[in-house]
Amino acid sequence: MKENIILCIVTKLLIPLIILFALYVQFHGDYSPGGGFQAGVIFSSALILYRLIFGLEAGNEVIPRPVLKLFASLGVLLYAGTGVAALFMDNTFLNYSVLADTPIHGQHMGIILVELGVGFTVSSTMLLIFDSFAGRPLTTKDANTGEQDD
Amino acid sequence: MIDIAISMVLLLFLIAMAVAILRLRDILAMAMMLGLYSLLMAGLFMVMDAPDVAFTEAAVGSGVSTVLLLVVLTLTKTRYEKDAVGFQGKPLIVVLLTGAALLYGVHDIALVGDIDAPAHQHVADRYIAEARNETGVPNMVTAVLASYRGFDTLGEVVVIFTAGVGVMLLLGSGTRRSRDKDV
C-alpha cells in the first residue's frame, strides 16, 4: 500500500498523537480516567495502524516479535512481582502499603507499577494476536478454492 | 434532560445498527457495522459517566476487534452469508423463549443510579469515603481496580496473557514459519 500517499502521510501524522495519548492515559490514570488496560489498547492500536498501512514486515522492524513476547510476560511478572514483594515485606500479597516509607507512598508506587505491568501485557498481547492472524500464510485459501467457490 | 435525549438517540441508532447487521448478507459490511455499533456503545458509556469503559469499548470494540475481523476475512474466501432458507418453526420458538426470558430478567436489573441497588449496599460506601485517604489516588476507579481489587485485576492480566499464548499456539507465531506450510 506504499503508493497510497494520503494514507501514508495521515498515518504518520496520527501515530505520534495516538502514542502520546496512550502514554497520557497510562501515566495520568491516577488522576483522570484511564489506566493500564486503556493505555495498552490505545498504544497497540497505533502500532496496528502502522502495520495496516506499511505492512507486517515494517511493523516487525519497529518492535521485533521477541521483544513483544518478552514484554507480554514481563507485564504479568511485574504485576505479580509487586504482589510478591509486598508478601515478603509484610506477609500480605498485593498490599502495596508496605512498599515505601508511608502507606500512601507505598500505595501510589504499587498502583503505578501494577498499571505499568497491565499496560505492557495488554499492548504486547494485542499486537501478538494481530500478528498471529495477519501473519498466517494465504496457502489455505488456495487449497480450499475448489470447494468454497460453489 | 439533555443526557436522556442523547441516550435515546444513541439507543435508536443502536437498534437501527442491530437490524442492519441482521439484514446484511455482506460479511465485510457486517464487520464494519459491528465496529460502528461499538463506537455508539462507547458514546452511551460516556453518557452514563463511565469514561474508563468508554475508552476500552472505543479502542477494543471498534478498533482492534474490527481489524481482527477484517484480517480473518482476508484469510477466508467466504464473502457472503448464505441466503435464508425460508420459514423455520423451531428456531423461531427458541428465539421467542429466549427473548421472553431476557425480558423477564430485565425486571430484576437495578435502575441506573439507584442508591438502593444491591451493588451499592456492600463495600461501595467505604470505597467512596476512604479511597482518597487510604491510597492517595484521586481517581477512585483506579484505586478500586489496582489496589482494593488488585487480585481480580491480576487475574484479568493473566487471562489476557493466556489468550495471547493460546492464539500463538493455535495459529503459529506470525511470519516466522509462514513458508513451512508450502512444502
Q: How far apart are the first and last CA of chain B?
A: 65
Chain A partners within 8 Å of B52 (Cβ) = 33-35, 38
Place of cell 507485564: A75
**Count of Cβ atoms closer than 10 Å to residue A53 Cβ:** 19
Whether the pLDDT of residue B182 is over 50: the answer is: no
Return the pLDDT at A79.
94
Provide the grid cell at B131. 479511597
Confidence of residue A116 (pLDDT cuts 50, 70, 90): very high
pLDDT at A84 over 70: yes
Answer yes or no: do B68 and A133 touch at CB < 8 A. Answer: yes
Region B80-108: mean pLDDT is 87
**Per-residue model confidence (pLDDT) at position A2:** 57
The DSSP 8-state label assigned to residue B87 in this structure reads -
Query: What cell does A98 get?
Result: 508496605
Which of A2-6, A47-51, B124-128 is most confident? A47-51
Of B86, B92, B88, B35, give the one whose Cα is nearest residue B64.
B35
| pLDDT of the residue at A70 | 95
Mean pLDDT of B47-58: 90
For residue B74, the model assigns a pLDDT of 84
Cα B71 to its chain centre, rounded Å, is 19
Share of chain B above pLDDT 70, in %: 93
Q: How confident is the model at residue B13 (pLDDT cuts 50, 70, 90)?
A: very high
Which one of A44, A75, A96 has the shortest CB-CB distance to B157?
A75
pLDDT, greater one: A122 or B147: A122
A65 to chain B: which residues are within 8 Å by CB?
A: 173-174, 176
The overall average pLDDT reported for chain B is 86
Q: What is the mean pLDDT of residues A21-46?
A: 91
Distance, in Å, from the CA atom of B132 to the CA atom of B126, rounded to the nearest integer, reads 11
Q: Is the pLDDT of residue B77 over 60?
A: yes
Is A101's pLDDT higher than 90? no
- For residues B21 and B8, give the distance between their C-alpha atoms in angstroms, rounded to a whole number: 20
- Render B127-170 in DSSP notation, one character per residue: HHHHHHHHH--S-HHHIIIIIITHHHHHHHHHHHHHHHHHHHHH
Chain A: residue whose CA lies nearest to B180:
A137
Which residues fall within 8 angstroms of residue B60, CB to CB, at 6 or more apart?
Answer: A41, B38
- Rounded to the nearest integer, the mean pLDDT of chain A is 86
Query: What pLDDT shows up at residue A144?
Result: 45
Q: What is the pLDDT of residue A68?
A: 94
Answer whether A139 sits within 8 Å of B181, measured CB to CB: yes
Residue A40 confidence (pLDDT)? 94
Percent of chain B with pLDDT over 90: 42
* Whole-number Å distance between alpha carbons of A7 and B63: 17
ipTM of the complex: 0.86
Q: What is the pLDDT, as a whole number, of residue A138?
A: 66
State the amino acid at position A83 in one-letter form: G
The B residues from 114 to 153 touching A (CB cutoff 8 Å) are 134-139, 141-143, 145-147, 150-151, 153
pLDDT, position A147: 41
Give me the helices (H) in B25-143, please: 27-47, 51-56, 65-75, 89-106, 124-135, 140-142
